[in-house]
Structure 1
């Protein structure tokens, strides 16, 4: 490949969508300019044997030379491409590599999510596929939920406004918390999955109502993340409060060692409006999380730091054990430290007596 030979810009540009996969962008750019995918790929340095990529299942990796040529062909600065096509940074192709364009299948369970059809209406004749941050996504602008598990489902959330509101809160939480928020959101979703599979907490009330609105039953596992989403975000917010205090060696609400577990789980139950359900057994899922996130600061050090404030809400949280590496893409559950998975048997969980909340459990 002639590295120094400039590439003529294509006559027509396409609107860029942040988070779009490279394969999706190349497919749209080629189509918009009346080209075959293979022709565009060769234009930026692919071998003559390059086949067509399927954006729904595959990604295109570009080396530095091909990325520069794509910038020239698309009429976009390299920095703008990097900002929109976030997976460009994941390529391991070096500048000296002879093959600068490669097609790679997405791992099983990590397929791209189709962008909201209303967001891209009029911008693209073809579907826009985004780098998988999970197996589903929420569009706040149009109140839609997209999921890959059942084809390419896009559901309007007009009857589930609490899901859109929860997503707005999650975005706010991620901006304040930083990368650690993804791990805590994953943990919160897994706690909600535990509650759902064990038929605890909201399963008789709001979760059943949401299933009826969606027209699904408990066998529709692909819909569970949406069914439990508002409560999962509430739990994630509570986890951030707990972790900001743990980051400086404090127990929940500044209490002494050994006092935080029951107090914190009861507080989460209050935030959810499910105090009785929490006392009846819902606390066990949270206790499994607390065991993995226990305060390891020695008691002597902790007592010396009693006057130290928790990490302010305006500052990002540092990564804490057991989350030292957080995968930026893929199913959200893969970022969780909790071992169970949706649809699998619940094993290895705390089975202690109900926590003391000062209220009587609701009669069964």
Structure 2
């Protein structure tokens, strides 16, 4: 397959549907015509890149890379849904695609227009994210899955503490899957009924993540100190109480009570101590099992969302 005339710039984290829409528009084609070259498949009538994600199998992924004029590994680094865990089954081996009404996993979040412009992209860009929000620390903007064009982002200049918290969260998440799980567990702790009465709930308003993120990162950072010792088999049974008392002094008694549940689920590991301290990039220890790339915080955490048990409140993500 010959590559198309014009190569489209890549935007990290962009959805495949968003990229293909830009690629088709640049060459004066309809998306359906371009997809007909990629392979055979089904598409929900009138689906748009801000509504759902485009999925392909292995053969169609290779065709898309050739059409875009990009090495496959380069395209996979930028477009998350092209990675192996998100591919459609190969079936007969023929190139195939699907564009359903809803993403199989994750949320479509508006990408930062200023970041896209730095890459020469002036069209709207949609990212595929595990959670329905995204903070651009470079430009201090909060984006989410809102379709409101009049206020497509929230300027975080009045709230520099949120940007600082996001930088700390990115350091935790960038250290490996354990860091991402601890952030999810911190949001789980904040959903405990003792705490949720005094804090907004994820999903209750567009700005709820902005209020919760600084607290969640502080909690996750304190969790990390204990969890590292636990994964290295150096955690003593009596350390939890000392750690909890310190958290209560720093963050308040309500969070201390909510952290009791997390501590109970993260007891000292039994068995032989590893020869080398485990890296955070390795698989997490019990009670966590795996870390799907598009799993949201309420799916990753081991802490029950107790605030939902009464049935009076909807799920954090609807």
Distance 1:115 1:159 in 2: 21
The residue matched to 1:285 in structure 2 has which SS?
A: helix
Cα deviation, residue 29, structure 1: 0.6
How far has the Cα of 1:323 moved from its partner?
0.5
2:73 and 2:47 map into 1 onto residues whose CA distance is 24
Q: Displacement of 1:175 after TM fit?
A: 2.6
Q: Assess if the C-alpha contact under 8 Å between 1:38 and 1:52 holds in 2.
A: no
Counterparts of 1:319-330 in structure 2, within 5 Å, are 319-330=284-295
Match of 1:243 among 227, 231, 244: 227
Which sections of structure 1, spanning at least 5 residues, go unmatched?
Answer: 1-6, 208-216, 348-364
Answer yes or no: is the 8 Å Cα contact 1:42–1:50 preserved in 2.
Answer: no
Q: Do the aligned partners of residues 28 and 225 (structure 1) sit closer, same or farther apart at CA in structure 2, a change above 3 Å counting?
A: same
Aligned twin of 2:184: 186
| Structure 2 runs not aligned, ≥5 long | 313-318
Aligned to 1:61: 55
CA distance in 1, matches of 2:203, 2:99: 35
Aligned residue for 1:214?
none
Counterparts of 1:173 and 1:231 in 2: how far apart (Å)? Answer: 14
Relative to structure 1, is the Cα distance of residues 230 and 34 closer, same or farther in structure 2, using a 3 angstrom cutoff?
Answer: same
**Matches of 2:67 and 2:12, distance apart in 1:** 19
The CA distance in 2 between the partners of 1:88 and 1:219, in whole Å, is 28
What is the TM-score with the length of structure 2 in the denominator? 0.84
Q: 1:101 to 1:48 in 2, by over 3 A?
A: closer
C-alpha contact 1:221 1:342 (8 A) present in aligned 2:
no
Match of 2:109 in 1: 113
SS at the partner of 1:93? coil
Contact 1:9 1:72 in 2 (8 A): yes
Q: Are the counterparts in 1 of residues 168 and 217 from structure 2 also a CA contact under 8 Å?
A: yes
- Give 1:212's aligned residue: none
Gap change, CA 1:108 and 1:318, over 3 Å in 2 = closer
Per the alignment, residue 22 of structure 1 pairs with 16
Matched-pair contact (CA < 8 Å) for 1:248–1:309:
no
Instruction: Please state how far the C-alpha of 1:50 moved relative to its aligned partner.
Output: 8.5
| Cα distance in 2, alignment partners of residues 149 and 20 from structure 1 | 16
- Residues 59 and 94, structure 2, Cα contact 8 Å, conserved in 1: no
Q: Distance in 2 between matches of 1:173 and 1:70?
A: 34
Q: Alignment length, in residue pairs?
A: 306
Quote the offset at 1:230 in angstroms. 1.0
1:293 matched residue in structure 2: 266
Q: Which residue of the partner structure matches residue 129 of structure 1?
A: 126
Query: Which digits, 9 at most, give the CA deviation of each residue in 1:294-347, with x for residues without a partner?
Result: 22427xx7xxx7xx99947x7545411111122211422211111116666499
Between 1:94-103 and 1:31-40, the stretch displaced more is 94-103
Q: Which of 93, 96, 115 matches 1:97? A: 93
- Rounded to whole Å, the distance in 2 between the matches of 1:24 and 1:218 is 26
Instruction: Tell me, yes or no, if structure 1 residue 31 matches structure 2 residue 10.
Output: no
Partners of 2:153 and 2:270 in 1: CA distance: 46
Change (3 A) 1:328 1:228: same
- Cα RMSD after superposing both structures: 3.2
Pairs within 5 Å for 1:201-212? none
- Distance in 2 of aligned mates of 1:35 and 1:119: 26
Counterpart position of 2:5: 11
Q: Is the partner of 1:58 in helix, strand or coil? A: coil
1:119-198 matches, cutoff 5 A: 119-121=115-117, 123-148=120-145, 151=148, 153-176=152-175, 178-194=176-192, 196-198=195-197
Q: State the shift of 1:75 in Å.
A: 1.1
TM-score, normalised to structure 1, is 0.74
Q: 2-side partners of 1:109 and 1:50: how far apart?
A: 17
Distance 1:9 1:52, change over 3 A: farther
Aligned to 1:231: 215
CA apart distance, 1:107: 4.8
Q: Distance in 1 between matches of 2:286 and 2:187?
A: 18
Contact kept? 1:248, 1:311, Cα under 8 Å? yes
